[in-house]
């Protein structure tokens, strides 16, 4: 158990809909990262938040957005969903040092029908 | 930009065989290097890491050495077990953000 929790575990929705994925980092970790894992694109970094502020952006679509709240949990919002958004979405957290390890949650499997 | 290339799988070995999964990287500066493992239906778990040249990361019998001269971080294990069957990801990170992962190598160990 990494200490990172993600809800829900599975999500099935329809094209055009909007969903919210939730992540709670390990106790004491200030950084939260979101990744998308799909068969064709592999594991891709989406976005990082550090103590409530956006720190880095990767291959995140404009239809996707994220935020980190004062209690440090984070939410990833996916809107106008397309079939190609079906994937595993992982959250990871780490401490503040540049060499700190990222610890991954169990993931949310999103299926868009 | 920074990237990681790892050997394509799948890799199938018999129990107690020697394992090598090759990983090379392209990066400016001095990245940290990682191996993560993903068991079926689970998230990624850190297997080992190295933060500077010539460092050796090791865990659960797995080892990898950060070779700056060859830009490599190959994963090795002397004797694999059925329980090692998983997908292995090589990754690099600078300043601990925008971690770049390889495509993953699926390992199957047969009894």
For chain A (length 113 residues), average pLDDT per consecutive 10? 93 97 95 91 90 91 97 97 96 80 92 97
Q: Which residues pair with A89 in a beta bridge?
A: A36, A108
Whether residue B40 lies within 8 A of chain A, CB to CB, comes out as no
Give the integer Cα–Cα distance in Å for B26 and B100. Answer: 10
Give A-chain residues touching B100 at CB under 8 angstroms. Answer: 45
* Residue B7 confidence class, pLDDT cut points 50, 70, 90: confident
pLDDT of residue B78: 97
* Count of C-beta atoms within a 10 Å radius of residue B14: 10
pLDDT of residue A37: 92
* Residue B38 confidence class, pLDDT cut points 50, 70, 90: very high
b/e A19-56 (16+ beta carbons within 10 angstroms → b): bebebbbbeebbbbbbbbbeeeeebbbbbbbbeeeebb
Whether residue A94 lies within 8 A of chain B, CB to CB, comes out as yes
Give the integer Cα–Cα distance in Å for B52 and A55. Answer: 24
Site of tokens 């090795």:
B76
Q: How far is B93 from chain A (nearest CA, A)?
A: 9
pLDDT of residue B109: 97
Percentage of chain B beyond pLDDT 90 is: 78
The residue-averaged pLDDT of B15-20 equals 97
> Higher model confidence: residue B2 or residue B74?
B74
State whether A94 and B43 contact (CB < 8 Å).
no
B88 has a pLDDT exceeding 90: yes
pLDDT of residue A17: 97
* Residue B96 confidence class, pLDDT cut points 50, 70, 90: low
pLDDT of residue B6: 94
Query: Chain B: residue nearest A57 by CA?
Result: B98
pLDDT of residue B93: 87
Backbone phi, then psi, for A73, in 5-degree steps?
A: -70, 160
B42 has a pLDDT exceeding 90: no
Whether residue A100 lies within 8 A of chain B, CB to CB, comes out as yes
Torsion of CA B102, A10, A86, A83, to 10 degrees: 180
DSSP string, chain A: --S-EEE-SEEEE-TT--EEEEEEPPTT--EEEEEEEETTTEEEEEEEEETTEEEEE-S--TTEEEEE-TTS-EEEEE-S--GGG-EEEEEEEE-SSTTPPPEE---EEEEE-
Q: Which two tokens stand for residue B108?
A: 């199957």
- Report the mean per-residue pLDDT for chain B: 93
pLDDT of residue A70: 96
């Amino acid at each position: 158990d990494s200490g990172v929790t993600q809800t829900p575990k599975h999500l099935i929705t329809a094209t055009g809909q909007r969903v919210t994925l939730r992540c709670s980092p390990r106790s004491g970790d200030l950084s939260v990262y979101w990744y998308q894992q799909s068969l064709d694109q592999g594991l891709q970094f989406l976005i990082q938040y550090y103590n409530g502020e956006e720190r880095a952006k990767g291959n995140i679509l404009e239809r996707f957005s994220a935020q980190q709240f004062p209690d440090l949990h984070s939410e990833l919002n996916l809107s106008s969903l397309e079939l190609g958004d079906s994937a595993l979405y992982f959250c990871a957290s780490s401490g503040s040092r540049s060499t700190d390890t990222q610890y991954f949650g169990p993931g949310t499997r999103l299926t868009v029908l | 930009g920074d990237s990681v290339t790892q050997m394509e799988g799948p890799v199938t070995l018999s129990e107690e065989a020697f394992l090598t999964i090759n990983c090379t990287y392209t990066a400016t500066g001095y990245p940290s290097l990682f191996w993560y493992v993903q068991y079926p239906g689970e998230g990624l778990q850190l297997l080992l890491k190295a933060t500077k040249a010539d460092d050796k990361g090791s865990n659960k019998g797995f080892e990898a050495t950060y070779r700056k001269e060859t830009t490599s971080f190959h994963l090795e294990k002397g004797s694999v077990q059925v329980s090692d069957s998983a997908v292995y990801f090589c990754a690099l990170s600078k300043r601990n953000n925008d971690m770049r992962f390889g495509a993953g190598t699926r390992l199957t160990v047969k009894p």
